[in-house]
């Protein structure tokens, strides 16, 4: 069972709702609810938002995991001896927090940040996205070098659970996390494209893929 499926099942049981009752409120089949809860099917962001509203509980697993990691890292950074220099720096940090934000840099596992880059906050968003859903991804291999995405480059992106046609995504399948371009083939099939000098493609069922991050732009190393 997936973490997000487990959260849905627990929240449903707290509400004393059957899968059939939840499916009716959501406007989907009982089979759909069952497959989401056991991790066989991936619910898109719209479904997640509607489930959260119906069940009265935030169940976005990826976002919650990401936010928990940020909180733990910020908590660790605060466990330091207090001195006057730090107090002055904190005052400046507070003053700049509405102008600049530290965007964490992650490897593909998204477990622990390996650094930060500052970006401006505009209308309480970072490049048009919610501040808590953006990050930098350090490219770990040359699988996408044919797309000019090489090992060591930094890609800015936002968390997603949607499979968007022609997008370049960090996704998980067969127990691995990789960066691939996505092309829909119709029905439930999608094409995964990589290029490390020669074009390679894989055909997969959409239900077997777990989209994590959409890459929006690239910062290359010269």
Report the pLDDT value the prediction gives residue 42, as an integer from 0 to 100.
77
Query: Coil, strand, or helix at residue 200?
Result: strand
Burial of 174 (0-12, 13-18, 19+ CB in 10 A): exposed
Single out the residue of 105, 20, 119 nearest to residue 66, CA to CA. Answer: 105
d(CA 12, CA 6): 10
Please count the other Cβ atoms lying within 10 Å of the Cβ belonging to residue 102: 15
Residue 18 has pLDDT above 50, yes or no: yes
pLDDT digits (tens, 9 = 90+) for 154-206: 999 999 999 999 999 999 999 999 999 999 998 899 999 999 999 999 999 99
Predicted model pTM = 0.58
pLDDT at 65 over 50: no
pLDDT (mean) for 135-144: 96
Residue 118, both tokens? 């500052």
- Token couple for 185: 């083939």
pLDDT reading at 43 higher than 80: no
**What share of the chain in percent tops pLDDT 90?**
53
What is the token pair recorded at 172? 């998980």
Q: What is the pLDDT of residues 112-124, one digit of tens each?
A: 999 999 999 998 8
Report the length, in residues, of the chain: 222
Treating both helix axes as pointing N-terminal to C-terminal, what angle do 30-37 and 3-14 enclose, rounded to 10 degrees? 120
What residue spans define the domains of the chain? 3-59, 64-219
CATH 1.10.260.40 applies to domain 3-59: yes
Confidence band, pLDDT 50/70/90 cuts, at residue 67: very low
In this predicted structure, the answer to whether residue 62 has a pLDDT above a threshold of 50 is no
The torsion region of residue 94 among left (phi > 0), alpha (psi -120 to 50) and beta comes to alpha
Do β-strands 134-138 and 100-106 pair in parallel, antiparallel, or remain unpaired? parallel
CATH number of 64-219: 2.10.109.10
Q: Cβ distance 89 to 46 under 8 Å?
A: no
Among residues 155, 157, 106, the alpha carbon closest in space to that of 127 is found at 157
For residue 216, report the phi and psi dihedrals to the nearest 5 degrees.
Answer: -100, -35
pLDDT tens by residue, 71-116: 555 555 555 566 666 665 665 555 565 689 999 999 999 999 999 9
- So what's the pLDDT on residue 97? 58
pLDDT of residue 46: 78
The count of other CB atoms within 10 Å of the CB of residue 10 is: 14
């Amino acid at each position: 069972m997936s973490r997000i499926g487990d959260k849905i099942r627990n929240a449903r049981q707290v509400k004393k709702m059957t899968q059939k009752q939840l499916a009716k409120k959501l406007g989907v089949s009982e089979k759909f609810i069952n497959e989401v809860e056991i991790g066989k099917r991936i619910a898109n962001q719209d479904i997640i938002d509607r489930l959260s509203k119906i069940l009265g509980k935030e169940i976005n697993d990826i976002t919650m995991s990401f936010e928990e990691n940020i909180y733990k890292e910020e908590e660790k950074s605060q466990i330091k001896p207090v001195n006057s220099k730090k107090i002055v720096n904190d005052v400046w940090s507070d003053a700049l927090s509405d102008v600049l934000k530290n965007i964490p840099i992650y490897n593909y596992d998204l477990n622990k940040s390996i650094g930060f880059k500052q970006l401006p906050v505009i209308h309480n968003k970072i490049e048009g996205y919610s501040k808590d859903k953006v990050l930098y991804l350090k490219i770990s291999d040359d699988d996408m070098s044919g797309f000019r995405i090489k090992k060591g480059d930094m890609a800015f992106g936002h968390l997603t659970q949607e499979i968007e046609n022609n997008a370049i995504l960090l996704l998980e399948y067969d127990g691995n996390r990789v960066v691939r371009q996505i092309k829909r083939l119709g029905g439930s099939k999608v094409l995964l494209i990589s290029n490390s000098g020669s074009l390679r493609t894989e055909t997969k069922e959409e239900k077997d893929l777990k989209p994590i991050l959409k890459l929006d732009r690239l910062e290359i190393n010269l």
